[in-house]
C-alpha cells in the first residue's frame, strides 16, 4: 500500500474552539442523517441518502476550502456543505421533502432527490454572480462518477486564469487562478471509466484538483474485492503518484477516515500544493463507515458480515472524534453531551420548520380545491359522489399536488353532463375548470421551467446578421471560412478557448483552427488526449467558471462516448438547478458522408432525444456553421454543432463580415422553391436532395427543398408548414435509421404544427437502412439515401396521387 508517512501531527489542540465547533458540526450532520432517515421511513419523504460516516473527512476539507473554490461531488457531502454554509438545515430537509420552491430549496427547486447539492451561480436576470466571493458547488448528479469529467474543467480554469494574460481582468471568477476544484467520489464509483479518464486528464493538464475518495469498503452491497484490482485503490493509483519535487502526476495521500488530526494535516498540505503550484492530489480516505447503510432503500445488515458491522461501530468517525477530544483533554464528557443535546434539538427544530414550510402551500391549495368541490357538490346532481371525492381528499393529512389535480379532474369527469350554462352546477364547474387550468400551468412551470435559458442570454434572442459579400467575393475552401470565423472569435472574445483531439498543433483534422495555436497560445487552442467524455466535462467545468469553450469531438460517430455526460450533465444542468446554473458550452463535431461503419454514422434521433436542453444544429455548409458559432458565442445556451465533413474542401464565397454574421436558431431555409412536393432535410443531405430535384424536374415535378438547419429548436416560425400548405405533399429525408430523426421531423410538422390538415398525400420518410453503413462507394450507395432514392421516394408520392400523369416507372 502506498502510504505517505505523515509528519507528527501539528499541535491542533490549541485550536480548542475550532475543534469543538467541528465536533458540533459532525454531530449536527449525523443528526440530520438520522432524522432524515426517520422522515423517509415514516413516509414523509420518498427516499434518503446521507453523509453519515463521512463527517470528519469533510470537516478537514472544509477547513481549506476557500471562497472562489469549486466542489464537484456526490451525495455524501452534506457535512462539507453544512460546514461551508452552502446549505442550512432547513434547505437540507426541504430537499428531502422535494419542496418545489427555489426559495426553500435553492439547489434544485425540488427537482433532484436529496443530497444533490448545487449553489446558485447566476442571478435571476441571468448574469453571473461573483464566484470569487462564494463557495461554489457545481450541481450534483446521480450517475456514479459523472461528477468527475467536469472537475477537469473546473480545475483547468484556475490554470487559464493564472496563465492567460487576456483573462487576468476576470476577477469575478478568479483571483490569479488560486482556486482549487475539489472532487469527491465513492470507492466503488472509481471502477467507472469516467474516474480514470478524468484522473488521467487532470494529471496531464496539471491542474489544481483535489480528488477525495471516500472508501467505506462497499458500493451498496458489493465489497472492494469485486470492484478494484488488488482490492485497494491506493495501490491501483500508485502509478499516478509524483515521485519527486516538480514532477508530473499527483500527490497521493492515504489516510484513515476517523483520524481527525491526520485528515486536517493531509488537506492542509494538499491544498497548499494545489493553490501555490497547481499540483493535483488524490486523497484516499479509508476505514470509513456507513452507520445507516447505503440509503433508505435497504439495510446493510443484510449483506455486511458481523465483523464488518462491529468494525463500523467501533470506527465510526464521529465516535473516534469524540474519543480523541476526550483523550486530548479538549473537552470533557459533559461538555460534549451538552453540544449533542443542543444540536439534537436544533436539527429537530429546523426539520419541523422545513416540514411546515413545505406543507403550508399545499394545505392551502388543498383547502382551495376542497371549497370549490364543496360548492360544486351542493349545486350538482352528483353531489354525493363529489362529496366523497372531497372528503377523501380532505382526509389526507398532506396530499400530493397530483392528488389535488386528480380530484378536480375526477369531479369534472363526473359532472360532464352539467357543462351547460342553463344548469345550476355550471358556474361552479367553470370555477373548477379555471382552477385546474391555472394549477396545470403553475405546475408546468414548477417542474418544467428552465429547460433552456429564459433570459436575455438565450440564443433565441440573438439578432440575425446575414453574410455580406464584396461584389466579387473570394471563393475559399470551407475550412478557410471556419478558420476566419474562429480567428475573429478568438480575437474579440478573450474568454474563448478551443480544444480537442488534434485541435492544437494541427489546428484540427480539417484545419478549422489551423495556425491559431501559434497566434493565440497553447492554452487557448489546445490538444487533448483521446477522451471524449472528459473533453465534454472539461468544457462544462470551464463554462461554469465563466469561460467560453469550443470543444471538439473529432467525428460524429465518437460522440457516443460523450453522450452520457452531455445527456446527464450538460443538457439537464439549467433545468435541474431551476435556472441556478448554466454552462455555455459549444460542442463541435463533424460527420456524415465519410465511408465505413464507424465513420459515416448518423445517430441523429438518439442525439436529439438524449440532448433535450441543448440546441442541436446541422448547418449544410461552413458559412452557415460560422453563423451558428457566432450566434452561440453571443448567448449562453449549450449547443452541439455538426459540420458536414464533405464541406471543408468545397469552395464558398468568403463573407466580408465573417466575425459578425449570425444565423438564427430554429429557422429553416427554402433552398429551392417548388409547388408539387416539399422535401425536408438538413446537413449533408441538402446536396443530395437538390440533385434529385433536377431529375424530378425533368419529369415535370417541381419540388420545394427545405433545409431545417436546426433540429433543436425546430422550425419555430412554421416555415415548413407554409411550404406544405402550398404543396400538400411532404417527404422527410436524412441519413439516420428509419424512425430516427425523420420521425421526429414528421411529428413536429404533422402533429405539432398541425400539418395533417394540409396533406393531399400520406406523409413519407426516407432514411438510411436500419443497419450501419457498409464500407466503400457501393456500401454507401446501398446503405444510405442518395439522389436516386430521393427521386424514387418523391416520384412514388406523385405517382400515388396521379398515376395518369406520373405512371409507374419500374413495373
Ligand atoms: C452509473 C450508475 N450505476 C449505478 C448506480 C446505482 N448506485 C448508486 S450509488 C451506488 C454505489 C456507489 O458506491 P460508492 O461509489 O462506493 O459510494 P458510497 O455510496 O459507498 O459512498 C450505485 C451502484 C448509479 N447511481 N449510477
Ligand atoms: Mg462506498
Q: What's the pLDDT at 245?
A: 73
- Judged against a pLDDT cut of 50, whether residue 7 lies above it is answered with no
Q: Burial, 53: exposed, middle or buried (Cβ in 10 Å; 0-12, 13-18, 19+)?
A: buried
For residue 216, report the distance from its CA to the centre of ligand 2, in Å: 5
Nearest CA to ligand 1 atom 21: 186
Nearest CA to ligand 1 atom 11: 219
Structure-block grid coordinates of residue 742: 425523420
Q: Do 271 and 64 contact (CB within 8 A), yes or no?
A: yes
Nearest CA to ligand 1 atom 24: 143
Q: Do 716 and 664 contact (CB within 8 A), yes or no?
A: no
Best probe residue, ligand 1, of 219, 221, 290 (max atoms within 8 Å of C-beta): 219
> How far, CA to CA in Å, does 709 sit from each of 430, 505, 579, 670, 741?
44, 31, 27, 10, 13
In three-state secondary structure terms, 466 is coil
Residues 224-272 have pLDDT tens digits of: 999 999 988 999 999 999 987 778 899 999 999 999 999 999 999 999 9
What is the H or E stretch that residue 549 is in? strand 548-552
Q: What's the pLDDT at 5?
A: 37
Please list every protein residue whose CB sits less than 6 Å from any atom of ligand 1.
76, 142-144, 186-189, 214, 216, 218-220, 294
Q: What's the pLDDT at 15?
A: 85
| Cβ neighbours of 73 (radius 10 Å) | 25
Average pLDDT over residues 731-740: 98
Q: Ligand nearest 293 Cα, by number?
A: 1
> How far, CA to CA in Å, does 253 sit from each of 6, 62, 222, 282, 499?
9, 17, 24, 6, 31
Nearest CA to ligand 1 atom 18: 186
Residues 387-437 have pLDDT tens digits of: 999 999 999 999 999 999 999 999 999 999 999 999 999 999 999 999 999
Band of residue 14 on the pLDDT scale cut at 50, 70, 90: low
Best probe residue, ligand 1, of 188, 290, 293 (max atoms within 8 Å of C-beta): 188
Residues 524-548 have pLDDT tens digits of: 999 999 999 999 999 999 999 999 9
Residues 37-61 have pLDDT tens digits of: 999 999 999 999 999 999 999 999 9
Q: Do 542 and 153 contact (CB within 8 A), yes or no?
A: yes
Q: Do 539 and 160 contact (CB within 8 A), yes or no?
A: no
To 10 degrees, what angle do helices 426-448 and 333-379 make?
150
In three-state secondary structure terms, 211 is strand
Left (φ > 0), alpha (ψ -120 to 50) or beta: where does 166 sit?
Answer: alpha
Torsion sign over Cα 366, 367, 370, 375: negative
For residue 676, report the distance from its CA to the centre of ligand 1, in Å: 57
| Cβ neighbours of 158 (radius 10 Å) | 28
In three-state secondary structure terms, 636 is coil
Q: What's the pLDDT at 11?
A: 61
Phi, psi of 109 (to 5 degrees): 60, 35
In three-state secondary structure terms, 515 is coil
Q: Across the chain, what does the average pLDDT equal?
A: 96
Minimum-distance ligand 1 atom for the alpha carbon of 76:
21
Residues 325-341 have pLDDT tens digits of: 999 999 999 999 999 99
Q: What's the pLDDT at 10?
A: 54
DSSP character at residue 537: H
Average pLDDT over residues 152-161: 98
For residue 220, report the distance from its CA to the centre of ligand 2, in Å: 7
Q: What's the pLDDT at 634?
A: 98
Torsion sign over Cα 152, 155, 159, 160: positive
- Find the catalytic residue in 599, 609, 695, 799: 599
Does pTM top 0.95 for this prediction? yes
Phi, psi of 681 (to 5 degrees): -155, -170
Residues 181-214 have pLDDT tens digits of: 999 999 999 999 999 999 999 999 999 999 999 9
Q: Do 517 and 507 contact (CB within 8 A), yes or no?
A: yes
- Judged against a pLDDT cut of 90, whether residue 605 lies above it is answered with yes
Minimum-distance ligand 1 atom for the alpha carbon of 219:
13
CA atoms in the 13 A half-sphere facing the CB of 96: 33
For residue 53, report the distance from its CA to the centre of ligand 2, in Å: 11
Q: Which residue has the higher pLDDT, 60 or 9?
A: 60
Minimum-distance ligand 1 atom for the alpha carbon of 192:
1
In three-state secondary structure terms, 217 is coil
Structure-block grid coordinates of residue 199: 484522473
Average pLDDT over residues 134-151: 98
Among residues of the chain, what percentage have pLDDT more than 90? 96
Q: What's the pLDDT at 298?
A: 87
For residue 231, report the distance from its CA to the centre of ligand 2, in Å: 13
- Rg of the chain on CA atoms, in Å: 30
Band of residue 462 on the pLDDT scale cut at 50, 70, 90: very high
**Is 599 marked active-site?**
yes
Q: Kindly report the three-state secondary structure assignment for every residue of 747-765.
A: HHHHHHCCHHHHCCCCCEE
Structure-block grid coordinates of residue 597: 461503419
> How far, CA to CA in Å, does 288 sit from each of 54, 217, 255, 317?
6, 8, 10, 7
577/590 Cα distance (integer angstroms): 31
Average pLDDT over residues 450-477: 96
For residue 459, report the distance from its CA to the centre of ligand 1, in Å: 36
Average pLDDT over residues 336-364: 98
Residues 573-585 have pLDDT tens digits of: 999 999 999 999 9
CA atoms in the 13 A half-sphere facing the CB of 430: 7
Minimum-distance ligand 1 atom for the alpha carbon of 54:
21
Torsion sign over Cα 401, 404, 410, 416: negative
Structure-block grid coordinates of residue 168: 487576468
683/480 Cα distance (integer angstroms): 19
Q: What's the pLDDT at 13?
A: 63
Residues 690-716 have pLDDT tens digits of: 999 999 999 999 999 999 999 999 999
Amino acid at each position: 500500500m502506498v502510504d505517505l508517512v505523515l509528519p507528527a501531527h501539528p499541535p491542533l489542540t490549541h485550536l480548542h474552539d475550532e475543534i469543538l465547533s467541528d465536533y458540533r458540526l459532525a454531530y449536527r450532520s449525523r443528526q440530520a442523517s438520522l432524522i432524515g432517515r426517520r422522515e423517509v421511513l415514516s413516509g414523509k419523504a420518498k427516499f434518503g441518502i446521507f453523509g453519515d460516516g463521512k463527517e470528519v473527512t469533510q470537516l478537514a476539507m472544509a477547513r481549506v476550502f476557500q471562497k472562489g473554490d469549486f466542489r464537484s461531488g456526490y451525495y455524501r457531502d452534506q457535512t462539507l456543505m453544512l460546514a461551508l454554509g452552502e446549505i442550512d438545515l432547513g434547505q437540507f430537509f426541504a430537499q428531502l421533502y422535494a419542496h418545489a420552491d427555489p426559495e426553500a430549496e435553492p439547489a434544485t427547486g425540488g427537482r433532484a432527490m436529496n443530497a444533490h447539492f448545487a449553489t446558485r451561480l447566476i442571478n435571476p436576470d441571468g448574469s453571473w454572480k461573483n464566484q470569487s466571493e462564494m463557495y461554489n458547488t457545481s450541481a450534483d448528479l446521480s450517475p456514479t462518477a459523472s461528477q468527475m469529467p467536469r472537475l477537469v474543467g473546473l480545475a483547468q480554469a484556475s490554470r487559464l486564469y493564472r496563465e492567460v494574460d487576456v483573462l487576468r481582468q476576470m476577477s469575478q471568477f478568479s483571483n490569479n487562478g488560486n482556486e482549487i476544484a475539489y472532487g469527491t467520489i465513492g470507492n466503488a464509483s472509481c471502477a467507472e471509466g469516467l474516474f480514470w479518464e478524468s484522473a488521467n486528464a487532470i494529471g496531464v493538464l496539471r491542474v489544481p484538483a483535489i480528488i477525495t475518495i471516500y472508501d467505506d469498503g462497499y458500493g451498496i452491497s458489493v465489497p472492494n474485492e469485486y470492484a478494484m484490482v488488488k482490492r485497494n485503490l491506493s495501490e491501483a493509483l500508485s502509478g499516478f503518484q509524483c515521485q519527486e519535487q516538480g514532477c508530473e502526476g499527483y500527490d497521493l495521500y492515504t489516510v484513515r477516515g476517523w483520524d481527525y488530526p491526520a485528515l486536517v494535516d493531509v488537506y492542509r498540505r494538499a491544498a497548499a500544493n494545489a493553490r501555490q503550484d497547481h499540483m493535483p492530489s488524490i486523497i484516499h480516505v479509508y476505514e470509513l463507515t456507513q452507520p445507516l447503510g447505503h440509503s433508505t432503500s435497504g439495510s446493510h445488515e443484510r449483506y455486511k458480515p458481523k465483523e464488518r458491522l462491529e468494525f463500523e461501530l467501533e470506527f465510526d468517525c464521529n465516535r473516534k472524534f469524540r474519543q480523541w477530544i476526550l483523550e486530548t483533554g479538549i473537552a470533557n464528557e459533559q461538555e460534549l453531551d451538552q453540544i449533542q443535546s443542543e444540536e439534537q434539538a436544533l436539527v429537530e427544530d429546523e426539520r419541523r420548520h422545513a416540514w411546515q414550510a413545505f406543507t403550508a402551500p399545499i394545505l392551502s391549495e388543498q383547502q382551495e380545491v376542497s371549497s370549490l368541490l364543496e360548492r360544486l357538490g351542493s349545486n350538482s346532481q352528483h353531489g354525493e359522489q363529489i362529496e366523497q371525492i372531497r372528503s377523501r381528499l380532505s382526509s389526507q393529512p398532506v396530499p400530493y399536488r397530483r392528488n389535488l389535480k386528480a380530484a378536480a379532474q375526477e369531479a369534472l369527469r363526473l359532472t360532464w353532463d352539467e357543462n351547460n350554462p342553463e344548469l345550476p352546477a355550471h358556474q361552479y364547474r367553470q370555477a373548477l375548470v379555471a382552477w385546474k387550468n391555472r394549477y396545470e400551468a403553475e405546475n408546468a412551470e414548477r417542474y418544467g421551467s428552465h429547460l433552456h435559458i429564459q433570459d436575455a442570454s438565450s440564443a433565441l434572442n440573438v439578432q440575425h446578421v446575414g453574410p455580406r459579400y464584396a461584389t466579387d467575393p473570394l471563393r475559399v475552401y470551407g475550412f478557410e471560412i471556419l478558420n476566419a470565423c474562429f480567428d475573429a472569435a478568438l480575437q474579440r472574445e478573450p474568454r474563448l478557448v478551443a480544444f480537442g483531439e488534434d485541435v492544437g498543433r494541427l489546428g484540427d483534422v480539417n484545419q478549422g483552427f489551423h495556425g491559431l495555436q501559434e497566434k493565440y497560445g497553447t492554452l487557448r487552442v489546445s490538444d487533448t488526449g483521446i477522451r471524449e467524455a472528459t473533453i465534454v466535462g472539461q468544457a462544462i467545468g470551464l463554462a461554469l467558471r465563466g469561460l467560453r469553450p469550443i470543444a471538439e469531438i473529432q467525428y460524429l460517430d465518437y460522440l457516443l462516448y460523450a453522450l452520457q455526460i452531455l445527456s446527464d450533465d450538460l443538457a439537464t444542468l439549467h433545468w435541474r438547478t431551476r435556472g441556478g446554473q448554466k454552462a455555455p458550452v459549444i460542442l463541435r463535431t463533424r460527420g456524415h458522408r465519410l465511408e465505413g461503419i464507424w465513420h459515416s454514422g448518423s445517430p441523429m434521433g438518439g442525439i436529439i432525444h438524449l440532448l433535450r436542453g441543448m440546441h442541436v444544429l446541422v448547418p449544410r455548409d461552413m458559412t452557415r456553421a460560422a453563423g451558428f458559432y457566432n450566434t452561440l458565442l453571443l448567448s449562453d445556451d449549450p449547443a452541439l454543432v455538426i459540420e458536414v465533413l464533405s464541406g471543408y474542401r468545397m469552395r464558398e464565397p468568403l463573407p466580408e463580415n465573417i466575425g459578425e454574421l449570425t444565423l438564427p436558431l430554429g429557422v429553416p431555409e427554402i433552398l429551392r422553391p417548388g409547388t408539387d412536393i416539399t422535401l425536408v432535410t438538413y446537413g449533408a443531405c441538402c446536396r443530395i436532395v437538390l440533385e434529385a430535384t433536377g431529375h424530378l424536374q425533368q419529369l415535370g415535378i417541381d419540388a420545394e427543398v427545405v433545409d431545417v438547419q436546426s433540429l433543436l429548436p425546430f422550425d419555430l416560425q412554421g416555415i415548413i408548414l407554409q411550404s406544405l400548405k402550398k404543396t400538400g405533399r411532404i417527404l422527410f429525408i436524412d441519413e439516420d435509421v428509419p424512425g430516427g430523426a425523420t420521425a421526429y421531423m414528421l411529428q413536429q410538422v404533422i402533429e405539432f404544427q398541425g400539418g395533417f390538415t394540409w396533406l393531399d398525400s400520406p406523409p413519407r420518410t426516407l432514411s438510411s437502412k436500419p443497419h450501419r453503413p457498409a464500407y466503400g462507394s457501393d456500401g454507401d450507395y446501398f446503405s444510405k439515401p442518395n439522389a436516386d432514392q430521393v427521386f424514387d421516394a418523391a416520384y412514388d408520392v406523385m405517382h400515388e396521387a396521379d398515376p395518369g400523369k406520373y405512371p409507374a416507372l419500374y413495373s
